[in-house]
């Protein structure tokens, strides 16, 4: 009772089931939520019709990363996630429009990295599959909701500025988490 328990970085929340643990996982990992929201905001600023292929490729890349993490232990990729989140935030802040191929490349990078970072420790094979399926849905829905918010806020000038302010917060948050991770 008074002995320390095993602490795991990506351990499931007890009592809510493996599927819901997987769905909540992207919301509980700072690097993931920052980069997924940043990518969704980026896609939303460029009209969904222009990003159909990028969104589909993001989904496929996420699935590839999730499948890889089922079979192999992925190295810590949270630093790469934070660097990519910072870059996406800076692209949003600047208002820079990229050619479609660059949006596809961003979708591949973010999808694979988030998938690789989604493993949960201390689960059996069946539980891991259920958890990773939930993670995939959580990741995709979070990106779609961020994209919808950004697309909704792209009609008026002040709304575009609001999205840029959110992007600046995301970039600052990513840089702070990076700084804290290097402080040890």
Tokens linked to 82: 């934070």
Domain ranges of the chain: 19-182
> Can you tell me the distance from the alpha carbon of 5 to that of 39, in angstroms, rounded to the nearest whole number?
36
Residue 165's CB is within 10 A of a number of other CB atoms, namely 12
pLDDT in tens, 5-58: 544 455 556 678 888 988 998 999 889 999 999 999 999 887 767 788 999 999
First and final C-alpha spacing in the chain: 30
Asked if residue 120 lies in contact with residue 131, where contact means CB atoms within 8 angstroms, the answer is yes
The mean per-residue pLDDT over the stretch 136-143 comes to 94
pLDDT in tens, 143-159: 999 999 988 888 888 88
């Amino acid at each position: 009772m008074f002995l320390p328990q095993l602490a795991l970085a990506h351990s499931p929340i007890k009592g809510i089931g493996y599927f819901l643990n997987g769905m909540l996982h992207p919301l509980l990992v700072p690097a993931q939520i920052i980069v997924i929201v940043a990518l969704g905001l980026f896609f939303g600023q460029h009209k969904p019709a222009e990003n159909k292929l990028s969104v589909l490729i993001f989904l496929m890349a996420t699935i590839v990363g999730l499948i890889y993490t089922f079979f192999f232990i992925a190295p810590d990729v949270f630093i790469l996630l934070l660097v990519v989140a910072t870059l996406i935030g800076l692209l949003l802040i600047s208002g820079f429009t990229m050619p479609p191929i660059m949006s596809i490349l961003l979708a591949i990078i973010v999808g694979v990295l988030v998938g690789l970072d989604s493993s949960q420790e201390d689960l059996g094979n069946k539980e891991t599959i259920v958890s990773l399926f939930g993670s995939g849905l959580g990741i995709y829905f979070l990106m779609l909701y961020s994209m919808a918010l950004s697309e909704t806020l792209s009609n008026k000038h002040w709304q575009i500025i609001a999205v840029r302010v959110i992007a600046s917060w995301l970039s600052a948050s990513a840089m702070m988490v990076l700084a804290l991770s290097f402080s040890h």
